[in-house]
Amino acid sequence: MADSYESLKIPPHSIEAEQSVLGGLLLSGLANDNTAWDTIADKVVEEDFYRQDHRLIFRAIADLVEDSKPLDLVTVSEWLKQRNELENAGGFAYLATMAKDTPSAANIKAYAEIVREKSVLRQLITVGTGIADSAFTAQGRPSKALLDEAEQKVFKIAEQGGKQGQVFKSLKNLLKVSLAHIEELSKLDSNITGVSTGYAQLDEMTSGLQKGDLIIVAGRPSMGKCIVAGSRVLDPTTGRLVLIDDLVTRQQGSLATLDAQFRLQVTQPSQFVDDGMKPVFRVRTALGREITTTASHPFLTLQGWKKLAELAVGQCIGVPRVLPFFGQGALSEQRTKLIAYFLTDGGLTQTCPQFTNINPRIRDDFTAALRDFPGVSWRLEDSKGTRTPSVRVMTDSEFLQVSRQDFAHRLKQRLTELSLSLTGLARQLGVAVATVHYWTVGKAVPAGDMLGILCRELQLEPQVLMPHGTAATTRSAPSPVTEWLQALGLMGKSAHGKRVPDAVFELPRALMATFLNRAFACDGSVYVQNGDQVGISYSTVSKPLARDMQHLLLRFGILAKLRERQIQYRGEYRPAYELRITHQQHVRYFLETIGVHGKEEAVQQALAVSQRKFPNADLVSGDVYWDEIESIECLGEQQVYDLSVPETHNFVAEDVLVHNTTFSMNIAEYAAAHKKLPTAIFSMEMPAEQLTLRMLSSMGRVDQHRIRTGKLTDEDWPRIATAVKIFSDVPMFIDDSPALSPTEVRARARRLMREHGQLGLIVLDYLQLMQTGSATDNRTAEISEISRSLKSLAKELSVPVIALSQLNRSLEQRPNKRPIMSDLRESGAIEQDADLIIFIYRDEVYNPESPDKGTAEIIIAKQRNGPIGSVRLTFLGKYTRFENFTPDIYTPGFE
């Protein structure tokens, strides 16, 4: 019975009220009087009507009024008839009945309010049912997410109601409110009528941040901190080295980053920036590591992060001591050895690959690894002792014939299974019957695209029909080894053009050690000098290959110095590149964990010396090595990119550590700490914990680098304690959820306001990280929706909303880098919706020798109710703090 009763429940509605609204509109139209429509047009919409026929009639009336056409029974019925909807709307008779049964349109407003009321109830029922269903079928979704979703749905209904029923406010009433407001302001002791920013000159120009205002604070992302196109970035999840260009193109990837404890972690960039053409400088260190960046790109120093423009030859910068990230590559051990051998002593410029080495044990190891390729043979060419022996790799002719016969057998078997004749197959493929016959007897095999076409006709995968591959089955094809080397990008490379293939960087630890073992077996050496000094070296004429090998050693925490030297070749000197491992603990670690095949005697001699001098082979702990700058060279203008990294703001590129929003946060601190105004911060880029550390640095005036590393001085601790005491009673609330939508921000801000009675300020960091959730590829339209929603939020809650925004890179092309309105990214809607637009400009970012070092221009580019202009503030970089301008104070800033 209960189930039967539930099924009989009818959603709230009033047929009579709906008929009265429509009848009143028809009567009004007959009298050539549209006042009835004007009365209810902002109170109900088509979806508020319960019955479908009533919705159709309302749609017809609305369309006729919109087009300024006559409104009566005939025009409405004709509109419906033209769209084949007249019968669905009840026919002409039903329209006439409604008009006849409605006495007048005098009470149409009351009828419309009933229709709207019932509509809201139905929507609540629908939303409530949906919420219940979501709870029943949560499938692991957290309750918090369900609550946010439910609140958004309810707010959506409320928003509809808020838009309807709005009326004009009479000037008479508004004058009373305005006079009361002026009287209240006259009693104040200052000119600040809104939320004070804490900056005297800025407050003087704006009278504080006003309730209901949307304030945009914009600055250039990364402020010129970029690295050159073509720089390689380590993906710690795969071990792959990825070009920064590709990361920016894909807009996704993983990075290695240094945390506050100086330990390497895995992170993902929050932003990928194409910064166009800029002057760049190549930095080379004592270890031979190189990276090319802009002058303003910061490097880690013993005194914190400093821009390259502030560094000089002889100073030390932080580089990774180890990059302990390996992949899950699928290379076999034998193929790993072969790559090492072909990279070092391989000849890859002729038709058949060769391997030249004087050590018979190494040659035997090479030929044993070739067995990983079926259908391959080799021949030793020693020129009767006049030249170093070479192993020439080619296709095994006997195996080729066996493979062709196997193909023929499989083809005939499949034709039998399909009951398909040779003629039938030839017709389907569009080839001669003789061709198919030759395939079935092993005299020929399909070449080129024909194999794929044949496999589709036979409904087989190519490896089923030709399991040994085309290279081992086709006479005209290169050998399987040649085909493999071509796929790796090695075939055809001279000694100068060789470099490590991508597949090697993705190897697991054990196989990467095998690769290095065999590479050093050919081009490496182990030596003992003066009876007690052990060293390891690796030489090549390819600088890219040397840098690749240096990087692979770094995966094991082995530091190798790369140097260039001149070698004599055929009567002339040419550059060669040598890696040297001289740190005794690193030498010992290499010999014990990697080794050198074929040079075991030298390895054991070196180990004996090393074990006598260094019983403990453990490497130095810590992930940072302080490497001295050897040269800084200007390379002119080049394409540059940057990556924004949340929390740590640094990443590893070219085996060097490189670095990557303070003004608004200082305003938020002042509002919450000094004015005790509840302040909501939506930090979509930086985690709340990191934001807290920044505020402690700012409020306590403690170097943020020392806070991040925990290396606080005796003077720092009391300052930290004071800052903690100040903040412990501050009404500041931080939400660090990523990619929030305007609806989510509104729901959370309203919830916070209900809990605390009021809100004094809302800060969003930053606008371009917000999402609307709508399925659109038009980001400009999406930003427009976001900015309108934020302006609506400011008005609804009657609080100033500060939204951080970014500037596009067009300003980089101008001699004067000061931002202007058109520099706002997706500027149109932002410029229109904002009440106050503030740009931050620091000249020293673009001009390292600027006389305005340590200061910032706060440019008011737009203000609805006040002047535009600029004020100057002091920037204390190491505290991430802006302060009122004091001309005689300058503290170099770290970004």
Q: Does 851 score more than 60 pLDDT? A: yes
pLDDT for 796-817, tens place per residue? 889 999 888 877 666 666 778 7
Three-state DSSP state, 184: helix
Averaged pLDDT, 355-384: 91
**Interatomic CA distance for residues 548 and 552, integer angstroms:** 6
Q: Does 879 score more than 70 pLDDT? A: no
Task: Identify the CATH assignment for 333-373+489-611 out of 2.30.30.90, 3.30.70.2860, 1.20.1250.20, 3.10.28.10.
Answer: 3.10.28.10
Q: Does 878 score more than 80 pLDDT? A: no
pLDDT for 741-773, tens place per residue? 787 788 788 888 888 888 889 988 877 777 775
Q: Where in the chain is the domain with CATH 3.10.28.10?
A: 333-373+489-611
Averaged pLDDT, 306-320: 89
Q: Does 187 score more than 70 pLDDT? A: no
pLDDT at residue 100 in the model: 85
Residue type, 170: S
- Pick the more confident residue, 629 or 787: 629
Highest mean pLDDT among 124-138, 370-384, 588-602: 588-602
With beta carbons less than 8 A apart as the criterion, state whether 575 and 562 touch: no
Catalytic residue among 669, 685, 744, 812: 685
pLDDT at residue 162 in the model: 44
| Distance between start and end Cα atoms, the chain | 71
Q: Does 49 score more than 70 pLDDT? A: yes
Q: Does 384 score more than 90 pLDDT? A: no
CA dihedral 711, 716, 721, 724 (to 10 degrees): -70
pLDDT at residue 831 in the model: 81
Confidence of residue 200 (pLDDT cuts 50, 70, 90): confident
* Phi-psi category of residue 198: left, alpha or beta, with phi > 0 → left and psi -120 to 50 → alpha: left
Q: Which residues contact 669 (CB under 8 A, 6 or more apart)?
A: 198, 695, 698, 699, 732
Q: Where in the chain is the domain with CATH 1.10.260.40?
A: 395-478
Averaged pLDDT, 178-193: 64
What's the CATH number for 395-478? Answer: 1.10.260.40
641 has which bridge partners?
227, 274
With beta carbons less than 8 A apart as the criterion, state whether 85 and 63 touch: no
pLDDT at residue 853 in the model: 76
DSSP secondary structure, 646-692, as one string: TTT-EEEETTEEEE--HHHHHHHHIIIIIS---EEEEESSS-HHHHH
Confidence of residue 358 (pLDDT cuts 50, 70, 90): very high
Strands 346-347 and 354-356: antiparallel
Averaged pLDDT, 883-891: 52
What's the CATH number for 226-321+623-659? Answer: 2.170.16.10
Q: Does 303 score more than 80 pLDDT? A: no
Averaged pLDDT, 9-27: 88
Establish whether 398 is a catalytic residue.
no
pLDDT at residue 289 in the model: 96
pLDDT at residue 204 in the model: 86
Q: Does 510 score more than 90 pLDDT? A: yes
pLDDT at residue 181 in the model: 56
Residues of the chain with pLDDT > 70, as a percent, come to 85
Q: Which of 659, 639, 635 is nearest to 648 (CA)?
A: 659
Q: Where in the chain is the domain with CATH 3.40.50.300?
A: 214-220+661-840
Averaged pLDDT, 839-843: 83
pLDDT at residue 160 in the model: 59
pLDDT for 117-142, tens place per residue? 999 899 888 888 888 888 887 776 77
Residues of the chain with pLDDT > 90, as a percent, come to 31
Q: Does 631 score more than 90 pLDDT? A: yes
Q: How many CA atoms lie within 13 A of 532 on its CB side?
A: 3
Provide the token pair at 354.
């060769």
Confidence of residue 189 (pLDDT cuts 50, 70, 90): low
Highest mean pLDDT among 30-44, 213-227, 260-274: 260-274
**Interatomic CA distance for residues 779 and 776, integer angstroms:** 7
pLDDT at residue 314 in the model: 94
pLDDT at residue 254 in the model: 92
pLDDT at residue 5 in the model: 43
Tokens 């009818």 belong to 10
pLDDT for 638-687, tens place per residue? 888 888 776 677 889 999 988 654 567 778 877 877 788 888 888 876 66
What's the whole-number average pLDDT of the chain?
83
Q: SS3 string of 495-529?
A: HHHCCCCHHHHCCCHHHHHHHHHHHHHHHEEEEEE
* Phi-psi category of residue 390: left, alpha or beta, with phi > 0 → left and psi -120 to 50 → alpha: beta
pLDDT at residue 803 in the model: 86
Q: Which of 592, 428, 624 is nearest to 517 (CA)?
A: 592
pLDDT at residue 892 in the model: 34
Tokens 């025009």 belong to 75
Confidence of residue 252 (pLDDT cuts 50, 70, 90): confident
Highest mean pLDDT among 43-57, 145-159, 267-281: 43-57
With beta carbons less than 8 A apart as the criterion, state whether 29 and 71 touch: yes
Q: Does 511 score more than 80 pLDDT? A: yes
pLDDT at residue 176 in the model: 66
Q: Does 555 score more than 70 pLDDT? A: yes
Q: Does 560 score more than 60 pLDDT? A: yes
Q: Where in the chain is the domain with CATH 2.170.16.10?
A: 226-321+623-659
- Pick the more confident residue, 491 or 711: 491
pTM of the predicted model over 0.75: no
**Interatomic CA distance for residues 17 and 280, integer angstroms:** 74
CATH fold for the domain made of 9-157: DNAb Helicase; Chain A (1.10.860)
Residue 879: asked if its preceding bond is cis (omega within 30°), the reply is no
pLDDT for 205-250, tens place per residue? 888 888 988 988 887 554 445 788 899 999 999 999 999 999 888 8
With beta carbons less than 8 A apart as the criterion, state whether 317 and 300 touch: yes
Q: Does 569 score more than 90 pLDDT? A: no
Q: Which of 25, 23, 7, 6 is nearest to 15 (CA)?
A: 23
pLDDT for 410-434, tens place per residue? 989 999 999 999 999 989 888 899 8
pLDDT at residue 6 in the model: 47
Count of Cβ atoms closer than 10 Å to residue 94 Cβ: 17
With beta carbons less than 8 A apart as the criterion, state whether 771 and 684 touch: no
What's the CATH number for 214-220+661-840? Answer: 3.40.50.300
**Interatomic CA distance for residues 475 and 491, integer angstroms:** 19
User: How far, in Å, are 142, 257, 317 from residue 323 at the CA level?
Assistant: 36, 10, 17
690-695 long-range contacts, CB within 8 A, separation 24+: 690/646, 690/647, 691/665, 691/734, 691/736, 692/734, 693/260, 694/662, 694/665, 694/880, 695/665, 695/669, 695/723, 695/727
Confidence of residue 492 (pLDDT cuts 50, 70, 90): very high
User: How far, in Å, are 73, 83, 559 from residue 60 at the CA level?
Assistant: 11, 10, 80
Q: Does 501 score more than 70 pLDDT? A: yes
